[in-house]
Amino acid sequence: MLELAILGFLAEGPLPGHEVRRRVSQLTGYTRPVSDGSLYPAINRLTRAGLIERRADPAAGAARYVLSVTAAGRADMLQRLRKPADHEITDFTRFYIVLAFLSHLPDVAAQHAVLRRRLEFLEEPASFFYDNERPLRAEEIADPYRRGMLLTARATSRAERAWLRETLGEKPPAFDTTVTDSDPHAPAAPAS
């Protein structure tokens, strides 16, 4: 995902390495800080692969350079956006990196295909805690912090699913009783 973020930002215009680092750090936030030990090797891999170019920036000094995406790099970025791996759909931070650059895909149908994959994932029953194979509902958890995790995940999932449906031009489905409301990805069940 670091490589996609680098390609995505460079697709918007050439940048010096330190600016790429700042933008990637801002995008991934405190949850996944970007170290020089991961950023610069990724830049070097992309450069060796011919996906980005590194040019000296005489205005900034001898040791400074500017990065830009190549035609091959743009094509690679578009392919990564068209067909994200499953873990890039299911992992919150990874998906947000895909989402940050999804508008680079020129085809709205391709953009919507990615959003539908995310929506399908969010509508699958899941939980952080289980009783055998059954996802536990927040209301079934005695521990207030675990219950808080489930309630927060439920609210986040509801908001994201609503946004996805709105963007896709879809109406919310009728309540499906097979989906539990404890699940971080599922709609809340009505009180019984």
pLDDT tens digits, 91-111:
988 999 999 999 999 999 999
Token pair of 54 as six digits:
């590194």
Q: Report the distance separating Cα 182 and Cα 44, nearest Å.
A: 44
Select the more confidently predicted residue: 30 or 47. 47
Backbone φ/ψ region at 50: left (φ over 0), alpha (ψ -120 to 50), beta: left
- What is the average per-residue pLDDT within 8-36? 85
Q: What is the pLDDT of residue 62?
A: 64
Q: Report the distance separating Cα 181 and Cα 35, nearest Å.
A: 38
User: For residue 192, what is the DSSP state?
Assistant: -
Task: Enumerate the β-bridge partners of residue 54.
Answer: 67
Q: Report the distance separating Cα 159 and Cα 78, nearest Å.
A: 27
State if pTM tops 0.85. Answer: no
Q: H/E element holding 7? A: helix 2-11
Task: Grade residue 180 by pLDDT with cuts at 50, 70 and 90.
Answer: very low
Q: What is the pLDDT of residue 32?
A: 66
Determine the straight-line distance between the first and last CA of the chain, rounded to whole angstroms: 42
Q: H/E element holding 65? A: strand 65-69
Q: What is the pLDDT of residue 93?
A: 85
